[in-house]
Amino acid sequence: GMSRSINLAVIPGDGIGQEVVAQGLKVLNAVLPQDVKLETKEYDFGARRYHATGETLTEADLAALKKHDAILLGAIGDPSVPSGVLERGFLLKLRFAFDHHVNLRPSRLLPGVATPLAGQPEIDFVVVREGTEGPYTGNGGTIRKGTPHEVATEVSVNTAFGVERVVRDAFARAQARPRKKLTLVHKNNVLAYAGHLWTNVFTKVAEEFPEVTTDYIHVDAATIYLVTDPGRFDVIVTDNLFGDIITDLAAAVSGGIGVAASGNINPSREFPSMFEPVHGSAPDIAGQAKADPTATVLSVALLLRHLGYDNEANRVEEAVSADLGGRGDTSRTTDEIGDALAVRV
């Protein structure tokens, strides 16, 4: 038959990133059919590289990464590096360089997983967060720094082009799901300029997707519904800042940081997309084999689906569901959870 291959860049990064990525690769190797050739190349980005060379992500690094089909990332960040250096110099730099404008964060409460919400509600929604605009572009500055008269600006950038492409991606994802419902989350009553642009684009693109039911909720109200009635959501589209905040809440209600997966996607495929757990490097538990690798394994499922391996993606998600069903045993090590998942796929 036709030979297929995946050329994967692997960035374990810092702290538990190393531990969880090893399990993600274990499951990926186990689920791929014989005829798929998996090539991996590991990159040493993160705190060690920064301390050794002062570099976070060079132009040469970007050129090397660009050649891959996809990127699997653990986590980047360490207390030994000044705050912001790796976040801006690696995570944000890569997101902008590879135009990862769709930040995809599914929230599904799997059977057997504890939620802080009462009554084990049905939770199955996806947040499509804009990844390259909003207040995260570094468009701002400070004057009179360090004085009682310090002034700081952090300007939210919203372009018709940037909003339309992420809104269209969200409509397409809603169209492909059984419930076909898309909710715009913003704050268009107060952030009227950006809110107007988002609302207008949303209404215009909606005409191309007559089967998709649409809805609008202010971001503050969305935080209420995510707790009181998460079942009302199917697909949510929102800006970079609101998306950052509501996806942490979404992770908290749907099983916690140990199972929250994400994709930083370039839908045009001009650059490789990157898949990573939502959590960070967890220095408090690093090196103790306590990290839950499930979020990374679910990120591998997103990676597989992005590359067109839908059956394999489903098998990984089913393995996680089945494994979580037997949970409650918190004594398993990172490696033991990875082994259990690799056996189930």
Q: Does 245 bind ligand NAI (CB under 6 A)?
A: no
Q: Kindly state the smallest distance separating residue 19's Cβ from ligand NAI, in Å.
A: 8
Q: Is 248 a catalytic residue?
A: yes
Q: Which one among 244, 292, 312, 317 touches Mg ion, defined by CB under 5 A?
A: 244
Q: Does 49 bind ligand NAI (CB under 6 A)?
A: no
Q: Kindly state the smallest distance separating residue 244's Cβ from Mg ion, in Å.
A: 5
Q: Kindly state the smallest distance separating residue 328's Cβ from Mg ion, in Å.
A: 28
204 assigned binding-site residue: no
In the block, tokens 């998996």 appear at 38
Rg (CA), the chain: 20
244 assigned binding-site residue: yes
Distance between CA atoms of residues 30 and 197, nearest Å = 46
Distance between CA atoms of residues 150 and 141, nearest Å = 10
Identify which range of 56-64, 103-111, 201-209, 274-282 contacts ligand NAI by CB under 6 A.
Answer: 274-282
Q: Which one among 106, 230, 255, 280 touches ligand NAI, defined by CB under 6 A?
A: 280
Choosing from 35, 220, 229, 310, the catalytic residue is 220
- CA 36, 42, 43, 45 dihedral sign is positive
Q: Does 87 bind ligand NAI (CB under 6 A)?
A: yes
Residue-wise burial string across 133-155, b where 16 or more C-beta atoms lie within 10 A, e elsewhere: bbbbbeeeeeeeeeeeeeeeeee
Across the beta sheet with 70-75, what order do the strands follow?
A: 36-42, 4-13, 70-75, 273-277, 261-265, 102-108, 124-130, 235-238, 181-186, 213-218
Q: Is 220 a catalytic residue?
A: yes
Nearest alpha-carbon partner for 107 in 213, 3, 255: 255
Q: Does 307 bind ligand NAI (CB under 6 A)?
A: no
With CB atoms as reference, the residue minimizing the distance to Mg ion is 244
280 assigned binding-site residue: yes
Choosing from 78, 99, 169, 244, the catalytic residue is 244
Q: Does 56 bind ligand NAI (CB under 6 A)?
A: no
Q: Is 244 a catalytic residue?
A: yes
Give whole-number Cα distances, 184 to 66, 190, 195, 217, 235, in Å. Answer: 32, 15, 10, 6, 9
281 assigned binding-site residue: yes
Neighbours of 115 (CB within 10 A): 16
22 assigned binding-site residue: no
Q: Which one among 109, 182, 282, 342 touches ligand NAI, defined by CB under 6 A?
A: 282
Q: Kindly state the smallest distance separating residue 45's Cβ from ligand NAI, in Å.
A: 10
Choosing from 43, 50, 136, 309, the catalytic residue is 136
User: If 0-12 CB within 10 Å is exposed, 13-18 middle and 19+ buried, where does residue 127 land?
Assistant: buried
Structural contact between residues 167 and 216, judged by C-beta atoms closer than 8 angstroms:
no
Identify which range of 178-186, 239-247, 278-286, 314-322 contacts ligand NAI by CB under 6 A.
Answer: 278-286
Structure tokens at 179: 């419930």
Tell which positions 254-273 bind ligand NAI, by CB under 6 A.
Answer: 257-258
291 assigned binding-site residue: yes
* Residues in CB range of 104: below 8 A, 6 or more apart: 126, 127, 128, 129, 262, 263, 264, 265, 302
Q: Does 103 bind ligand NAI (CB under 6 A)?
A: no
Choosing from 169, 187, 234, 309, the catalytic residue is 187
Structure tokens at 269: 């495929």
Nearest alpha-carbon partner for 132 in 107, 179, 83, 97: 97
Provide the annotated binding site for Mg(2+).
220, 244, 248
Q: For binding to Mg ion (CB under 5 A), which residues are involved?
A: 244
Annotated binding site for substrate: 95, 105, 129, 220
Catalytic residues: 136, 187, 220, 244, 248
Residues found near ligand NAI in the complex (CB under 6 A)? 16, 20, 75-78, 87, 91, 257-258, 276, 279-285, 291-292, 295
